[in-house]
């Protein structure tokens, strides 16, 4: 009997920021601002980031894991499309993530901004479909060898 090849996972992260919703929303709408918190990280180098902030507009992020990480050299591609935008209230984005050559997940991310006395409460709901084991032989041949080589270099 076949087994399911998709794992579904939803998580919610909440934050409170001492700034009004307009400031928080601007960090989503402006590409230069969004790049700084969404794209940039200490563990990877950003190779491409593009943002077309409108319903139907695309968001693309491509990055490569750095030296000193177990997955040095591996490229991750995140491609999304904005599904719904309500100014200063919410941004909803549907996206896929590709690791090397393999598409590994599809996600719906809903960010809601709620005005409070102290600033803004942000609620991030991430609904993900993770594709594992759907191409076993491919994992063994391509993905496994690649990751294995990277890990081996890190662990020696």
Partner 1 sequence: MAKPKVNIDRVFHALGDPTRRAMLDKLSEGPLSVSRLAAPLEITLTAVVQHLQVLEESGLVHTEKAGRVRTCRIETAGFSALEQWINDHRSLWEQRLDRLGDLLAEPEGGE
The residue range among 46-54, 79-87, 140-148 that interacts with partner 1, by the rule CB under 8 A, is 140-148
Site pattern 37..66 for partner 1 (x: CB under 8 A): xx-xx-------------------------
Beta strand extents in 116-153 (DSSP E only): 120-131
Structure tokens at 150: 């990277």
Q: Are 92 and 84 in contact (CB under 8 A)?
A: yes
Residue position matching structure tokens 């896929």 = 96
- Taking CB under 8 A as the rule, which mask of x and - marks residues 73-112 in contact with partner 1? -x-x--------------------x-x----xx-x-x---
Say whether residue 140 binds partner 1 (CB under 8 A). Answer: yes
The answer to whether the CB of 17 falls within 8 A of the CB of 119 is yes
56 with 66: CB under 8 angstroms?
no
- According to DSSP, the β-strands at 58-65 and 90-99 are unpaired
CA angle 107, 61, 46 (to 5 degrees): 135
C-alpha torsion 141→142→146→147, nearest 10? -80
133 is a contact residue toward partner 1 (CB under 8 A): yes
With binding defined as CB under 8 A, does residue 118 bind partner 1?
A: no
Q: Among residues 92 and 109, whose Cβ is nearest to partner 1? A: 109
Note the residues at the interface with partner 1 (CB under 8 A). Answer: 3-4, 9, 11, 13, 15, 17-19, 23-24, 27, 32-33, 36-38, 40-41, 70-71, 74, 76, 97, 99, 104-105, 107, 109, 122, 124, 126, 128, 130, 132-133, 136, 139-141, 143-145, 147-148, 151-152, 155-156
């Amino acid at each position: 009997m076949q087994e399911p090849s998709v794992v579904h996972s939803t998580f919610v992260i909440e934050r409170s920021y001492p700034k009004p919703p307009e400031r928080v929303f601007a960090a989503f709408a402006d590409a230069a601002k969004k790049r700084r918190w969404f794209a940039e990280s200490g563990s990877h180098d950003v190779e491409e980031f593009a943002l077309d902030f409108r319903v139907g507009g695309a968001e693309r992020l491509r990055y490569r894991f750095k030296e000193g990480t177990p997955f040095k050299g591996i490229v991750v591609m995140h491609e999304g499309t904005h599904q719904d935008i309500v100014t200063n209230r919410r941004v909803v984005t549907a996206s896929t993530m590709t690791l090397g050559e393999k598409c590994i997940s599809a996600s719906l991310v809903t960010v809601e901004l709620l005005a409070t006395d102290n600033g803004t409460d942000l609620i991030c709901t991430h609904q993900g479909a993770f594709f594992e084991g759907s191409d076993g032989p491919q994992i063994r041949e391509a993905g496994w060898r690649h990751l294995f080589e990277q890990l081996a270099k890190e662990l020696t």
